[in-house]
Amino acid sequence: MKKVAVLGATGAVGREMIRILEEREFPLASLKPLASAASAGKTIRFRGEEIPVEEAKPEAFAGCDIVLGAAQNPVAMRFAPDIVKAGAVFVDNSSAFRLDPKVPLIVPEINPEDVKWHQGIISNPNCTTIITAVGVNAIHRISPIRNMVVSTYQAASGAGQGGLEELEGQIRALADDAPVSIKYFRYQLACNLIPEIGSPVYEEYTAEEMKLQNEGRKILHAPDMAVSCTCVRVPVMRSHSISATIRLERPLSVEEARAAVAAAPGCRLVDDLAQHRYPMPLDTSDQDLVFVGRIRRDLTDENGLCLFICGDQLRKGAATNTVQIAELL
């Protein structure tokens, strides 16, 4: 039985982690919710009890076996040395350590064996990377992916609780013919699309757009895989969607691809255009499977396939994947 702490316990992802620990009956001896001084003293309900939130500080990690990180990069980087020094394993959802060659980057359905070489820190990948990687992994195992051209349709949940509340507020304001408030997004998101997530980092690609290539290479053990990605924020509450064209080392039929996805752990094949069945955010929200559909031949490359993928950003894209890594431990 493990003593588990959640760093950033009062945020959207932290609360989801705690909910999933209870839902999956994680074998823990105690739970310690940690957050900023401003949140200390609040309570979080877990297994029928109200557990007080403690302030995150170096001594708070003493006696912990696993710390689940649901905080931003500066907080993760600040406390990581203290967590490791306390003898705990830090399973971190921030991007602070994802590309560190000494830190495993894990999606349990894909590369669980990489957990074995951790040195006290394990990274949880970007939400869109997780959902996409789970969706294409079964195909990649049959015929390795050379490159991908991807467009993402990312829900307001990707910006945290504030993003969700802002979209809800904008929808209400538009319905009431009232002024629209903009705080978390660069522009009004309701009734709009924003083709910019993250800051430019490489040849006009943003940090969010480069994550799928850089993290995907590490997870899929495909160091030469190239990805061109466009990330778009859409007025959807929850669940990210991905349109992907994948180019393989050898041709794969649509039937082979469908069979592989249908048998893949963590996936559900939803692919019947004649019956209007395909992955959609509403259907994938508040559950952990990645839905894959619209599998068809790429008309520009005989080695290519096109597909559409949806998954819950807060659950499989963040909180559930982190808890699954803790289960591996």
- Distance, in Å, from the CA atom of 232 to the CA atom of 108, rounded to the nearest integer, reads 27
Q: Quote the pLDDT of residue 313.
A: 94
The answer on pLDDT for 1 being more than 80 is no
Among residues 176, 13, 81, the alpha carbon closest in space to that of 90 is found at 81
The answer on pLDDT for 12 being more than 90 is no
Q: Quote the pLDDT of residue 156.
A: 96
- Distance, in Å, from the CA atom of 230 to the CA atom of 14, rounded to the nearest integer, reads 28
The 10s digit of each residue's pLDDT in 75-124 is 999 999 999 999 999 999 999 999 999 999 999 999 999 999 999 999 99
- The tokens of 195 are what? 């083709």
6 contacts 70 by C-beta, under 8 angstroms: yes
Q: Quote the pLDDT of residue 309.
A: 98
Catalytic, out of 64, 118, 140, 240: 240
Q: What percent of the chain has pLDDT over 70?
A: 100
Q: Quote the pLDDT of residue 161.
A: 83
User: Model-level pTM?
Assistant: 0.95
Q: Which residue(s) pair with 7 in the sheet?
A: 34, 69
Among residues 240, 230, 248, the alpha carbon closest in space to that of 310 is found at 240
Catalytic, out of 127, 229, 231, 267: 127
* Encoded amino acid at 124, one letter: N
* Domains annotated on the chain, with CATH: 2-125+319-328 (3.40.50.720), 129-313 (3.30.360.10)
Among residues 51, 103, 92, the alpha carbon closest in space to that of 68 is found at 92
- Distance, in Å, from the CA atom of 213 to the CA atom of 218, rounded to the nearest integer, reads 9
Active site residue 310: no
The 10s digit of each residue's pLDDT in 240-259 is 999 999 999 999 999 999 99
Per residue, the 3-state secondary structure of the chain, as one string, reads: CEEEEEECCCCHHHHHHHHHHHHCCCCEEEEEEEECCCCCCCEEEECCEEEECEECCHHHHCCCCEEEECCCHHHHHHHHHHHHHCCCEEEECCCCCCCCCCCCECCCCCCHHHHHHCCCEEECCCHHHHHHHHHHHHHHHHCCEEEEEEEEEECHHHHHHHHHHHHHHHHHHHHCCCCCCCCCCCCCCCCCCECCCCCEEECCEEHHHHHHHHHHHHHHCCCCCEEEEEEEECCCCCCEEEEEEEEECCCCCHHHHHHHHHHCCCEEECCEHHHCECCCHHHHCCCCCEEEEEEEECCCCCCEEEEEEEECCCHHHHHHHHHHHHHHC
- Distance, in Å, from the CA atom of 244 to the CA atom of 229, rounded to the nearest integer, reads 9
The 10s digit of each residue's pLDDT in 147-206 is 999 999 999 999 888 999 999 999 999 999 999 999 999 999 999 999 999 999 999 999
The 10s digit of each residue's pLDDT in 270-315 is 999 999 999 999 999 999 999 999 999 999 999 999 999 999 999 9
The answer on pLDDT for 136 being more than 80 is yes
Say if residue 77 is exposed, middle or buried (CB neighbours under 10 Å; 0-12, 13-18, 19+).
middle
Among residues 19, 7, 305, the alpha carbon closest in space to that of 148 is found at 305
Q: Phi/psi at 241 (nearest 5 deg)?
A: -125, 150
The 10s digit of each residue's pLDDT in 53-72 is 999 999 999 999 999 999 99
Which pLDDT band, with edges at 50, 70 and 90, does 18 fall under? very high
Active site residue 127: yes
The answer on pLDDT for 130 being more than 80 is yes
**DSSP β-ladder status, 290-297 and 267-269:** parallel
